[in-house]
Chains A and B, each alone.
Chain A
Amino acid sequence: MSLALKALKKSPWVFHVNTGACNNCDIEILDCLTPRFDVERFGVVLVGSIRHADVLLVSGPVTANVLPRLRRLYEAAPRPIKVVAFGACGCKCGIFRDGYNVVGPMDKYIPVDAYIPGCPPKPETIISGIVKVLSQL
C-alpha cells in the first residue's frame, strides 16, 4: 500500500454535493458529525473544496442543471478519489425517477465505489458505509 493510501485510510476527507436531493440526506450527514455519532473519531471531516477531498459524497438524483457541475467536480478531484452514492436518490433516483429534469442516477456519469441506500439513510447505515469504503482501499 502506498503512503498516500495509508494516510487516506486514517483520515478520509469528504466533500459533499447535493445534486437535487431534498436536504434530508444532507442533514443526516451533518448529524453524523455531531456528538452522538461523531464520525470525526475516524478522521472523517467535511471539507469546503473538492481539491481537499478524498471522498466525493453525492446525494440526490442528478438534475439536468447540476450535471455539468458534477462532471467538473469529478474531474477537479485529486486522485485517488472514492465516489459514494448516498440515499435512495443517489443510488437509483428514488421517487424522482420519472421527473423530466432528472437525468440521473449518478452512476450513469461517474464511476461509483459505494452505495449507501435509504431515504434518508440512518446514521448507523452511513457509518457502516464509511467502513466499507475504507476497507476497499
Chain B
Amino acid sequence: MVKKIPIGPFHPILEEPEFFELHVEGERVVKIDQTIGWSHRGIELLSEHKTWDQVPFLVERICGICSCSHPFAYVKAVEDLCQIEVPLRAQFIRVIAAELERLHSHLLWTGLAGHFLGYNTVFMWTWKFREPLLDVLEAVTGNRNHYAVMRPGGVRRDLPAEEIPNILKLLDRLEKENDLLTKAIVDDPVIHARTKGVGVFNKTMCRLYGALGPTARSAGYDIDARRDHPIDAYDKVSFKVILCEHGDVFDKAVVRQLENFESIKIIRQCLSLIADTKAGDICAEIREVPPGEGFGMYEAPRGEVFHYVRSNGGNMPIRHKVRAPSFNNILTNNVSVPGNTVADAGLITAAVDPCYSCTERVGVVDRRNGERRVLTEADIVRLSHERTDEIRRRLAAEAGRE
C-alpha cells in the first residue's frame, strides 16, 4: 500500500508552478508523478508575430533568471541564418553579461538550497553577496534583471570604460565571498549528512534522460555547450568544465560553487581582452534576413538552451522553437527522488535548479492503508529543518562522547 503526496502547483520559495505527486511507503518515496505546464504562455507562437529585433525582449522573459541565455541562443540562431560576423567587442560584452548572470543564478540557488536545509544564514549571506552583482548588472546593462543586452548582430549597449574597474572590484570581492561559501559547504558535517548520497543520479541515467548542465556534470557526464560548441568569445578564453562523480545533492552544490570561480576567470579574461577593441563597434548591421533556417545554443546556468528559427525572407520568424534545459532536468527527479524520504524530496527536486515556482501543498497517500494526508509547503520545509536539527544533535552527541 502506497501513499500519494501531491506537491504543488504553488510554492512560495522557488519560481514557477509545478505539481508533484509523491507515492510513499511510510516515509520512503517509491514513485514521483510530475505535472508541468502551469506557466504555459505560448511564447513560440507569440514570437512568430514579432519582428526579428523584438523577439529578444520576448525570449528573455521565458525565464527571468536565464534572461541572458535565451536571447543569446536566439541571436546566435539569427546570426547563423544570416551568416554574419559579430564585432569582437560585442562578443566580449555578451560573454561578460552572460557570465555575470551565471554567477547571480548560481548564488541564488545556493541561497535557496541553504534555506531548504534549514541554514537560513546561508540564504541571507548568499543573497547579500548577490546584491553588488545586481548593482553592477544595472550599471552595465541598465536593469537589475532582464538585461536586454542581446540583439541580432551585436549588443544594444556598449560597456563604458569607467565601469571596468567596478566590475574588477566586484570580482575580487565575489571571489573571496564565494571561497568562504564553498568552504562553508564543503566542511560542514551537517550539510554532508543531509546531502551526500541523497538524490543520486548517475552518469548512465544522465545519458538516458538527456540531463544537462550542473545536474549532468555533477554525475561526471562531461557536457558543456560553452566548450563543445563555442560561440562568440568563448573560444578566446580558457576555462575548466567542472565535473564531480557522485551526482548527489552535495555534488550539485559543489559543481555550482566551483563554476562560479570559472565564471569569474572568464569575465576577467574578457575584460582584459576588451581593452584592445574599438569602443562603439558593437553591432553588425543586418539588412535583411534571408529565407532559410538557423540554430543557436548556449550553456545557460541550468544547462544547454537551444533555439531554432526559420525564415521565409520576411520580417518575422515563421517558426521559432525553444528547448530549455529544465524540461530534461525536471524529469531526472523520476530517478533521483524514489528511495529517499519525504523530508529530502523537496531538497532533491530543488537541487536540479528547476524553474519551478510554487508548490503550495503536498498531499500524502499511503499505499498501505490508502490514507491521504495533505502537507503544505511549510510542512515540507519544516520536515527538512527537523531532519537537519536531528543530524546536528546527533553529531553534537557523538562529539561529546569522544
Contact = CB atoms under 8 A, between A and B. Distances in A.
Given A22-B62, A35-B128, A101-B40, A49 B358 contact: no
Nearest to B45: A100
B78 interface: no
Contact of A18 (B17, B58, B379): B17
Interface string B31-43: 0000001111111
Nearest to B9: A69
Which interface class (under 10, 10 to 19, 20 to 34, 35 or more) fits A?
35 or more
A48 B381 contact: yes
Interface stretch (B63-71, B191-199, B273-281, B334-342): B63-71
A119 B146 contact: yes
- By secondary structure, the B interface counts as loop
- Greatest chain B CB density within 10 A among A28, A34, A73 is at A34
B12 A16 contact: yes
A41 to B, nearest CB: 14
A62 to B, nearest CB: 10
A23 B67 CA distance: 10
Nearest to A14: B12
A49 B361 CA distance: 8
A20 interface: yes
Interface string B103-143: 00000100100000000000110011001001000000000
B42 A101 contact: yes
A48 B378 contact: yes
A120 interface: yes
Contacts of B182: none
A69 B38 CA distance: 10
A24 B41 contact: no
A65 B128 contact: no
A47 interface: yes
B64 A63 contact: no
A19 B376 CA distance: 18
B377 A48 contact: yes
A65 B355 contact: no
Contacts of A84: none
Given A49-B376, A63-B38, A66-B17, A31 B357 contact: no
Nearest to A65: B38
Contacts of B14: 26
Contacts of B293: none
A120 B145 contact: yes
Interface in B1-27: 9-10, 12-17
The residue in B41, B128, B379 that gathers the most chain A C-beta atoms within 10 A of its C-beta is B41
Contact of A27 (B15, B39, B41): B15
Contacts of B240: none
A49 B377 contact: yes
Contacts of A35: 124, 127-128, 131
Contacts of A18: 10, 15-17, 39, 357-358
A47 B378 CA distance: 8
B360 interface: yes
A122 interface: yes
Contacts of B17: 18-20, 66, 69
A43 interface: no
A10 B64 CA distance: 32
A15 B12 contact: yes
Interface in A20-69: 20-28, 30-31, 34-36, 46-50, 60-61, 63, 65-66, 69
